[in-house]
Structure 1
Amino acid sequence: MGFGFDAKTNDFKIINFVSMYDPTFESYSFQDVEDVVYQKEVYSLSTDSWRKVDGPQCFIFEDQRDTMTYTTGMSSWLAYVDYISQRDLFVLSFDMSDEVFLKTLLPDNVIGVALYVLNESIAMVAEREVEGQTLVFYHDIWLLLKVGVKDSWAKLFTIEPFADDVCRPLGFWKNDTMFWIKNGGQLVLYDPSTKQITYLQIHGDGDNMQLVIYMETLVSVKGGNEFEE
């Protein structure tokens, strides 16, 4: 579910969410939540071991592509409590150093659809339907200034519907510009200050394309028997 760095102990860690149920359980639909056991685990590269950590009972969107993000020392996901309705969204964050979960409620009447990183902070894309305009959605961009504090959300700008139907955002680039994937799989760059769309010569599977942030100073990750082999 998440991979990050613990600066306090100079350690790399993985956070995993586990759902366990009896093999005779007829349907993995979570409709009978009392029949499912949930736990959260963290893996430490330095000790090559897993251990359980306490955390709230909640669900993460099955499509992790745009609902998970990583800022310095913190993994975050869009989560919800009710599996059936998938409503009452919030941001669930895991502090890699303190190994604690933090919950941040969304602004009132806001439906978040994706999380990204903007200037080392959590940025959320929220979808909003305008009355009288069928199937026309506006996207509001929010920035979370402090994890765990609902009132620290700040609305940055609103993106009006694209004329040629760009289907979903991929992430941020420089100066708040955003990558979007157009229906048909073409990548475009959108500048919210000028509302200009730049068509890039990159095409792919729109459902599977994603933007990955990398560091040029990546170190060699080595530990455990499997890595040595």
Structure 2
Amino acid sequence: MHVKHDYVRRTNCFIAQFIVTQAGEREPELLWFGDCDKSNTIHDYYTLQDSIASYNHICGPCYGIYYSWSDSTRYGYERNSCYGIPRCLWNPALNEIKELPPMITKPNLSSNLTYHREFCGFGFDPVTVDYKVVAIKGYKILSNEPYTKTNYLDYPLSIMIYSLRTDSWRYLQDLSKSYYVRQNSCYNFVNRSFYWLGSYIEFTYKSDVIIAIDLATEECQEIGLPEARIKGSMTYDEEYSERLMVYNDSIALVALYDNYKFDIWTLTGRIWSKELTVKLDCWVKKPLGHYYVDNNLLLFDVGPNYGLILCDLDTEDSWQIKVMTITGSGFCETVSAYMESLVPLNDRDFWKERDKGLSFV
């Protein structure tokens, strides 16, 4: 009963993060669309800013809980130590933040390597009744030399898992090889698994694989992408031409080409199916992937200072566009539905109740 808003089905409110400086600084904003009563939301823009001022990435919501971290490795350096960048769980309804313990090192990590970059996911394990954070870590050679592609991409990525019930990190496994993993632009947790796009080449429009981790079994899969999708350098911003999203309770790929057309592919098992092809009547910069189920709307970013648009997938003849008014500057990088929860993050006794046979979801 602690969930106030079901994930994207009943909420017209979401959190958007905008890149506001050339240095990559981000600021979050609460945004509404449609006929939404803002007075029902207890947090305003300033509260949101104050709550997560030290964290510039948001992942969620998972039953009203968010994971947030500071990606200081984005430009090839660490803000603190190799493992000490800020990470937390955040409950905006209770205005509560739980700082996570420092990241552990991979067992038998070579002395000439250090962590470099971090790609994260967050979800709920219904088997153990536990919230889990998944961190995919890359490596670089430990030296004072500037970052290059060769000293990062040559090493397989490692998977670390954090458990809220045990409040600890542990090493899971290495991937089969190194990938350039993309941070998700929306929340991609469905059917117990979290998903990321990966590619063999850094900063490219073309993705080569989907990395999927089942939080209940902790099984990792590397899934191929549909070969029949549009290929080639055909969008204004190549790096953002493909995005993952949750569509009709399945993980889906939205592929944008020539900035006016896009395809939606859904994955069942390991089989891809093209759901639809859409031709827009206006130019868009990139798909954000955030999908409103009841309204059948898909969110796009038009570009710095121009706003966001919603594509109505039901109006097949004209593809109706709804323009969203935003107060942020720069371009939108991620979006998350706004949800509320009464699950406390720092009360250890709460998690002991699970052993009495109680369920909180």
Same fold (TM over 0.5): yes
- TM-score between the two structures when normalised by the length of structure 1: 0.77
Distance 1:121 1:218 in 2: 27
Alignment of 1:160-199 (within 5 A): 160-163=279-282, 165-170=283-288, 171-173=290-292, 174-183=294-303, 184-194=305-315, 195-199=319-323
Give the gaps of 5 or more residues in structure 1.
130-135, 225-229
Alignment counterpart, residue 344 of structure 2, candidates 215, 220, 223: 220
CA contact (8 A) 1:12 1:46 kept: yes
When residues 200 and 81 of structure 1 are mapped into structure 2, their CA distance, relative to the original with a 3 A threshold, is closer
Alignment counterpart, residue 266 of structure 2, candidates 143, 152, 156: 143
Distance 2:347 2:193 in 1: 22
- TM-score between the two structures when normalised by the length of structure 2: 0.52
CA contact (8 A) 1:67 1:78 kept: no
Tell me what 1:45 maps to.
164
Alignment of 1:56-71 (within 5 A): 56=175, 57-62=177-182, 64-66=183-185, 69-71=188-190
Identity of aligned residues (%): 28
CA contact (8 A) 2:131 2:163 kept: yes
Taking CA–CA contacts closer than 8 Å with sequence separation of 6 or more, which of the two structures ends up with the larger relative contact order? 2
Distance 1:167 1:84 in 2: 16
Tell me what 1:77 maps to.
196
Give the gaps of 5 or more residues in structure 2.
1-119, 232-240, 349-361
Aligned Cα root-mean-square deviation (Å):
2.9
CA contact (8 A) 2:154 2:178 kept: no
Equivalent residue letter for 1:31: T
Distance 1:25 1:86 in 2: 30
User: Greater strand share, 1 or 2?
Assistant: 1
Deviations 1:125-167 (A, max 9, x none): 11335xxxxxx55211111122xx1x2x12111121433x222
Distance 1:157 1:181 in 2: 20
How far is the alpha carbon of 1:175 from its aligned partner?
Answer: 4.6
Distance 1:168 1:154 in 2: 22
When residues 68 and 78 of structure 1 are mapped into structure 2, their CA distance, relative to the original with a 3 A threshold, is farther
CA contact (8 A) 2:186 2:336 kept: no
CA contact (8 A) 1:19 1:37 kept: yes
Alignment counterpart, residue 10 of structure 1, candidates 111, 119, 129: 129
CA contact (8 A) 2:186 2:334 kept: no
SS at match of 1:210: strand
When residues 21 and 90 of structure 1 are mapped into structure 2, their CA distance, relative to the original with a 3 A threshold, is closer
CA contact (8 A) 1:45 1:223 kept: no
- What is the total number of aligned residue pairs between the two structures? 212
